[in-house]
Amino acid sequence: MTQDKNEIVKGVMAVISQALKVDDRQIHPGSSLIKDLGAESIDFLDIVFRLEKTFKIKIPKGELFPEKILTDARFVKDGRVTSEGILALRQAIPSADWETFSKNPLVADLGEVFTVGMIVDYLSEKLAMVKP
Amino acid sequence: MALVTGGAKGIGAAVVRRLADEGAKVYFTFHTSGAGEAAPKGRVFGFPCDVRKKNDVEAFVGRVLERESRVDVLVNNAGIIRDGLFLALSEEDWEDVWATNLMGTVYFTRAVLRPMILQRGGRIINLSSIVGELGGVGQANYAASKGAVNALTKSLAAEVASKNILVNAVSPGMVNTAMSGAARAAFGEKIKERIPVGSFAEPEEIAEVVAFLASEEARYITGQIITVDGGISLLSRR
């Protein structure tokens, strides 16, 4: 069940528009879910549920968005994600841009890593792995 | 469509009848008692389900969702008491009460949140008790479980309000049900004297409040513990 990238982009934009109640004209691949589109923590769950329904896939906990990494004292110190934390994030969510984030890994800026494009990349990879 | 746990008797049965009277299709669970007072008929369906078992709960909610595709209201009513003075309570007394009153609420709530988020709305109404706030002699386990339900209600309400899911609790005092029968039999008139309105609540009076919280009129209420106790908690605070 491989899907054309345009279809994936369209599907992701529709999901984000529904979950965050924003006009899809505001949504671009580089849009940060938190900074640009106003997502809150419950919205990430909403997005996952809607992606699962739209693309008929199962997204395991923590595979698209981090769940418990930021509440682990080993991974966060003084408002910054530790190198161990970045490694854990990189392993858990390889589709995100950790290179840029790791230059100044403030917890407060973590939301900027989660962009529309990152979800599209994640889904493209995930759907490509599903055999027709 | 509404789901009611522990809907075969007492407050649960009154809630089932009340919501059905409002025109809702109601699915309710029962465990040890059989379908009881709220026997299935018309748009009311009763199924056995042990709320303490996560897999049973998920299977039950899954089956309901296959038939209905949405769930508008969840009433977490199933509850038990295992009263005794603190030092007389066994681990089993604690575990039974905790598993039913708190974890049953947790499992059902988890099972309905996904469909409620996807349908962008829903009501969750938890049955608590005034002892959850006031405590009660011989009820440390029950009071702790209801205190936990109150805290769960407030926390979850804050988490999901932006998804138009409203979470509240109804906190009754002494209600004329089989569950409170032992206390009423032992202390009947003495307890009544401590209730400002001078009588026990009937299950229907609690169900009225549940129905209100499930209604459109309650759309701006969330995270609240609504006390329905004839004023007994006013005297307990003096």
Return the SS3 of A103.
Answer: helix
Rounded mean pLDDT, B113-127 = 97
In the chain, the amino acid numbered B103 is: M
Would you state the pLDDT for residue A109? 86
Question: pTM for the complete prediction?
Answer: 0.90
Tell me if A43 and B117 make a contact (CB, 8 A cut-off).
Answer: no
So what's the ipTM on this one? 0.83
Distance CA A129, CA A123 (A): 10
Please, are residues B26 and B45 in contact by the beta-carbon 8 Å criterion?
yes
Residue labelled with tokens 């386990």: B141
What's the number of domains chain A is made of? 2
Give catalytic status of residue B142 as yes or no.
yes
Please, are residues B47 and B236 in contact by the beta-carbon 8 Å criterion?
no
Same domain, A17 and A44: yes
Distance CA B45, CA B40 (A): 5
Residue labelled with tokens 């580089």: A30
> What is the dotted CATH code of the domain comprising B2-236?
3.40.50.720
Same domain, A37 and A99: no
Residues of A within 8 A of B164 (CB-CB) are none
Size of interface A-B (CB pairs under 8 A): 17
Residue labelled with tokens 């109404």: B125
Q: Which residues fall within 8 angstroms of residue B10, CB to CB, at 6 or more apart? A: B37, B175, B177, B178, B179, B203
pLDDT in tens, A72-113: 888 889 989 999 999 988 888 888 889 999 999 998 888 888
Please, are residues B126 and B106 in contact by the beta-carbon 8 Å criterion?
no
pLDDT in tens, A17-46: 999 999 989 999 999 998 899 998 899 999
Distance (Å) from the C-alpha of residue A83 to the closest C-alpha of chain B?
A: 30
Quote the tokens at residue B33. 């008692």
Q: Is B114 on the interface with A (CB under 8 A)?
A: yes
Domain of A82 in residue numbering reads as 67-110
Quote the tokens at residue B68. 């209905």
Q: Is B67 on the interface with A (CB under 8 A)?
A: no
Same domain, A58 and A79: no
pLDDT in tens, B154-187: 999 999 999 999 999 999 999 988 877 777 677 7
Same domain, A5 and A53: yes
A93: left (phi over 0), alpha (psi -120 to 50) or beta: beta
Same domain, A60 and A74: no
When scoring A46, A48, A50, A51 by the number of chain B Cβ atoms within 10 A, the one with the most, hence best to mutate, is A46
Same domain, A74 and A125: no
Same domain, A78 and A60: no
Would you state the pLDDT for residue A69? 73
pLDDT in tens, B57-104: 999 999 999 999 899 999 999 999 999 999 999 999 999 999 999 999
